[in-house]
Amino acid sequence: MKSISYLLLLFFLPVCNLMAQTPGELKSWLPAVDGWTVSDEVEVFDPDNLFDRINGAAPLFLENNFREMTSLEYKRGADYITIQAYRHATPEDAFGMYSSERSSDLAFLPIGGEAQGDQSYLYFFAGNMYLKIWSNASDDVSGELQSIGKALVGKIDAGAAYPALVRLFPEEGKVPYSAAYITSNFIGHEFLHSVYTMKYERGGQSFLLFVVDGDTPEGIKDVLTHYLTFTKQPQEPKEGELLIKDRYNGDIPSLWKGRYLIGIYNENGDTIAGSDGLLRELAGKL
């Protein structure tokens, strides 16, 4: 029954406009901002020329299945507000890109699925878009940035939220604003991809709870076959609990359920108290 509920949650997630953010539409969605004028110039970048605009940061965007970036601008004399709207293949990819660029220097704001900003910057995700807005103005333009951001969210995905699976993670000990989505190479392994993670602090211990989405049970069996071959654990993967003895990342308590592999990772390789119960708690929601 819980699996059916989760599937229904996925089915009814907002889908309006998720594939509709053309450069022209994005420009038409920009709100009027007092004292500022929307520039006529619209720049568009794709995977082949994204390096021309963001250079060293481009590989991470490509890893997160980047499709197109539209650059727009407001002007006020010599001041400008720049908007870079990155369209990704899926909402999960957009969330993953946003989560990879979180900053401890910025405040969290209630815009889109999650947002960060200050008087000159605003970053957030909504639908399959990751948006970065900033200004060179010397005065505080946070109000203007947030007005622009809220207007765009209303057009892109008014119900923007964390991916459905992220919302199933247990609450106790969860570190706020620590959810992430990793498209590939989780903890250094190519075969660990499409991974949802959350940081936890319980009983004086810090660790990551993660879920690998294999799309199908066969997909997870393939992941585990690669992993157990790497760790030289001669066993046939079977659904249920198992301990992966990763020589580089320490012992990883895990649980295979259907299309998902749930696990606990601690960067020091420490044994996490109550790990079995936590794995079963999350598995019970999937």
* pLDDT tens-digit map of 171-216: 999 999 999 999 999 999 999 999 999 999 998 999 999 999 999 9
- Compute the distance between CA of residue 15 and CA of residue 157 in angstroms, rounded to an integer: 8
- Regarding pTM above 0.75, the answer is yes
- Compute the distance between CA of residue 184 and CA of residue 210 in angstroms, rounded to an integer: 13
- Compute the distance between CA of residue 132 and CA of residue 153 in angstroms, rounded to an integer: 12
Instruction: Give the tens place of pLDDT for each residue, 72-119.
Output: 999 999 999 999 999 999 999 999 999 999 999 999 999 999 999 999
| Rounded alpha-carbon distances, angstroms, from residue 57 to 31, 62, 64, 257 | 29, 9, 12, 36
